[in-house]
């Protein structure tokens, strides 16, 4: 027993607090993230260095997403350091972008917000300016989600803003979308493709059933047909800190051009269908879109209990 407690058996390397340099850390993830990249550089030091393994992304946009009637506008928002990036982005969007979009886009416009904190900030601003916008987040109950969607489809709301987690849990199934506004690039590459697929869905002129709200009942009205030559545009806004999210959308070969471009607005013109490649980087992240293991928020839809026979 005395030999096991002998301090001379401990290597000087560990007594000098340099044992972390011999530690081997292996992290796996599907997508790269700025937060995990900083964590590896700060806490995963090794005397042999680091090794990253990732595949190059190809452009997500295909011929079906872009045509003369469907255009995608990418705009870079100028921000400073990462600490004040969210505040400057909100200030730039509300003062220089939102007013023009609100006047130009009349109906059936979906505002996609990846972060719930940005959703709360924008919701407060829209309510103060009395904008015709509906709100759906991951904390909205099922009855209110159906009511907000019905008001949007019957043109009671010109815009509908909802979060990325609401899209993940599929709280509502959006229809009749004619314009898309991405306040930020989605974290998942698949979400961007699904949102762009909304513009390809065909409309059906049917009478919609509108759910009753807490105070009043809204009468359902049939949706009128719109001219076929109507432009179905998408507007994507990003900052220089969204490098990894932008890379998954425009491709690894073009991401630097979008980050260093002098012109703030870029028009996507892609007419070739490219195969999809996914990245495998040494990070950790939960399995994406695994709804069986994911839990809904407490205030969202409740699970139905199965009756025992």
**Range ranked top by mean pLDDT from 135-139, 227-231, 249-253:** 135-139
The owner of tokens 């009855």 is 143
Per-residue model confidence (pLDDT) at position 91: 95
Please state the pTM of the whole predicted model.
0.74
Backbone phi, psi, residue 237, to 5°: -120, 135
Of residues 236 and 51, the one with the higher pLDDT is 236
Residue in 189, 197, 216 with CA at minimum distance from that of residue 288? 189
Per-residue model confidence (pLDDT) at position 179: 92
Share of the chain above pLDDT 90, in %: 35
Question: 228 pLDDT exceeds 50?
Answer: no
Mean pLDDT rounded to a whole number for the chain: 76
Q: How would you list the strands of the sheet with 133-136, edge to edge?
A: 133-136, 159-163, 109-113, 179-182, 232-238, 70-76, 265-268
Burial of 175 (0-12, 13-18, 19+ CB in 10 A): middle
* Confidence class for position 107, pLDDT limits 50, 70, 90: confident
Per-residue model confidence (pLDDT) at position 123: 97
Please give the average per-residue pLDDT across 214-242, as a whole number. 58
User: 70-76 and 265-268: which strand pairing?
Assistant: antiparallel
* Confidence class for position 296, pLDDT limits 50, 70, 90: very low
Per-residue model confidence (pLDDT) at position 101: 93
For the packed helices 116-128 and 85-92, what is the interaxial angle rounded to 10 degrees?
30
DSSP state of 58: P
Degrees to nearest 5, angle at CA 233 with 92 and 156 = 80
**b vs e for 266-300, b when ≥16 Cβ sit within 10 Å of the residue's Cβ?**
bebebeeeeeeeebebbbeeeeeeeeeeeebeeeb
Q: How many CB atoms sit inside 10 A of residue 49's CB?
A: 6
Q: How far apart are CA 163 and CA 166, in angstroms?
A: 5
DSSP helix/strand/coil, 258: helix
Q: How far apart are CA 11 and CA 19, in angstroms?
A: 9
* Confidence class for position 6, pLDDT limits 50, 70, 90: confident
């Amino acid at each position: 027993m005395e030999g096991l407690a002998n301090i001379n058996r401990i290597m000087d390397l560990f007594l000098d607090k340099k044992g972390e340099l011999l530690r081997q850390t292996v992290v796996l993830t599907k997508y790269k993230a700025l937060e995990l990249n900083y964590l590896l550089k700060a806490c995963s030091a090794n005397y042999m260095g680091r090794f990253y393994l990732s595949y190059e992304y190809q452009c997500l946009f295909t011929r079906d997403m872009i045509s003369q009637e469907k255009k995608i506008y990418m705009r870079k928002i100028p921000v400073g350091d990462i600490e004040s990036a969210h505040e400057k982005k909100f200030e730039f969007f509300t003062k220089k972008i939102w007013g023009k979009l609100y006047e130009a886009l009349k109906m059936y416009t979906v505002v996609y917000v990846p972060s719930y904190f940005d959703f709360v900030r924008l919701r407060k601003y829209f309510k103060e300016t009395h904008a015709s916008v509906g709100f759906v987040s991951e904390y909205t109950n099922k009855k209110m989600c159906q009511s907000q969607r019905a008001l949007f489809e019957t043109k009671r709301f010109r815009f509908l803003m909802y979060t990325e987690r609401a899209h993940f849990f599929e709280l509502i199934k959006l229809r009749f979308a004619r314009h898309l506004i991405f306040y930020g690039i989605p974290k998942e590459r698949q979400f961007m493709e699904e949102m762009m697929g909304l513009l390809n869905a065909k409309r059906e002129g049917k009478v919609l059933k509108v759910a009753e709200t807490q105070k009043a009942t809204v009468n359902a009205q049939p949706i009128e047909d719109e001219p076929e030559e109507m432009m179905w545009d998408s507007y994507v806004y990003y900052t220089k800190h969204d490098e990894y999210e932008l890379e998954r959308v425009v491709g690894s070969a073009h991401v630097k051009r979008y980050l260093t471009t002098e012109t703030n607005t870029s028009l996507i013109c892609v007419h070739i269908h490219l195969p999809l490649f996914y990245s495998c980087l040494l990070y950790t992240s939960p399995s994406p879109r695994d709804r069986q293991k994911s839990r809904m928020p407490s205030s969202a839809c409740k699970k139905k209990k199965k009756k025992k026979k």
